[in-house]
């Protein structure tokens, strides 16, 4: 019994004497929630509208592209609401094609509305900017084609949160929450 008590006492001393948080491979004490932007406003309603076919906005192939804009509102969700430096918005013609930057929205554009606790910003990107960035015209698109829009975050500490980092598909199935990192822009007649 004395040996068991000494063994237990020795293990207890060993456990408390050898703690070095820098040697913790998981660095649990330094973990924080991720930083992401989430859709707000009419874009969320559009996702649930069958005529938008899973996109947040649509444009007319027969209309004047100079009057069309890809528009949505997003809220910045993070432990540190002042950590957003900028949002870089990219476009792709295909889901796996090359990305081109079409605009950058500064973190200062995100302001906290009176009825919410998270800063929000409105995005408005002219269709002509997207088409010229992709080096295509309306004639290169067919009805029900998508243009793919992606948003990468740059935080004030230099960390970049790419759209590809948002990989939990269950987030995209929620009726109440939709990350604004990978979006679709639908071509209609």
Average pLDDT, the chain: 85
Query: C-alpha 166: how far from its chain's center?
Result: 7
Residue 23 lies in a domain: no
Residue 36 lies in a domain: yes
Task: Count structural domains, the chain.
Answer: 1
Residue 137 lies in a domain: yes
Convert the pLDDT of each residue in 103-126 to its tens digit: 999 999 999 999 889 999 999 999
In this prediction, residue 6 has a pLDDT band, given cuts at 50, 70 and 90, of: confident
- Give me the domain span that covers residue 178: 32-188
Residue 11 lies in a domain: no
Residue 12 lies in a domain: no
CATH number at residue 117: 2.60.40.2550
Convert the pLDDT of each residue in 43-68 to its tens digit: 989 988 999 998 999 999 998 999 99
Residue 16 lies in a domain: no
Residue 95 lies in a domain: yes
Spatial distance between the Cα atoms of 70 and 8, rounded to a whole number of angstroms: 66
In this prediction, residue 31 has a pLDDT band, given cuts at 50, 70 and 90, of: very low
Residue 24 lies in a domain: no
């Amino acid at each position: 019994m004395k040996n068991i008590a000494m063994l237990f006492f020795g293990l207890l001393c060993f456990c408390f004497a050898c703690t070095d948080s820098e040697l913790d491979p998981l660095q649990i004490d330094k973990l924080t929630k991720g930083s992401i932007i989430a859709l707000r406003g009419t874009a969320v309603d559009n996702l649930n509208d069958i005529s938008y076919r899973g996109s947040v906005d649509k444009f007319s192939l027969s209309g004047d592209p100079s009057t069309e804009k890809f528009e949505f509102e997003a809220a910045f969700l993070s432990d540190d609401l002042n950590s957003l430096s900028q949002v870089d918005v990219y476009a792709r013609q295909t889901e796996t094609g090359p990305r081109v930057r079409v605009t950058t929205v500064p973190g200062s554009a995100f302001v906290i509305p009176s009825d919410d606790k998270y800063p929000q910003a409105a995005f408005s990107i002219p269709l002509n900017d997207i088409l010229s960035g992709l080096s295509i015209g309306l004639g290169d698109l067919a009805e029900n084609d998508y243009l793919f829009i992606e948003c990468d975050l740059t935080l004030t500490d230099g960390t970049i949160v790419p759209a590809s980092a948002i990989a939990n598909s269950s987030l995209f199935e929620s009726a109440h929450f939709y990350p604004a990192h990978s979006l679709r822009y639908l071509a209609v007649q």
